[in-house]
């Protein structure tokens, strides 16, 4: 459980960093995401989950 909490904390730090460092650019990027078709967003989400799964697999072996 301690490891899980550390991982969640690191994810939150990495997710929050761009909003802290580049708030103007993040607003523009979020606007572009809102304009993307849902199918493209689903595809992007699947690719990111696949990459994450591969990284977890490599990190655990």
Q: Where are the domains of the chain?
A: 2-60
Torsions phi, psi of 37, nearest 5?
Answer: -65, 150
pTM for the structure as a whole:
0.70
* Average pLDDT by stretches of 10, the chain with 61 residues: 89 95 96 96 96 90 82
Q: How far is residue 45's CA from residue 33's CA, in Å, rounded to a whole number? A: 12
- Compute CA distances 49 → 21, 28, 35, 43, 52, whole Å: 25, 24, 22, 10, 5
Report the pLDDT value the prediction gives residue 61, as an integer from 0 to 100. Answer: 82
């Amino acid at each position: 459980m301690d490891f899980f909490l550390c991982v969640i904390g690191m994810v939150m730090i990495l997710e929050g960093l761009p909003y802290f460092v580049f708030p103007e650019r993040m607003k523009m990027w979020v606007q572009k995401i809102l304009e993307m078709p849902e199918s493209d967003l689903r595809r992007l989400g699947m690719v990111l989950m696949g990459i994450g799964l591969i990284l977890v697999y490599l990190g655990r072996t």
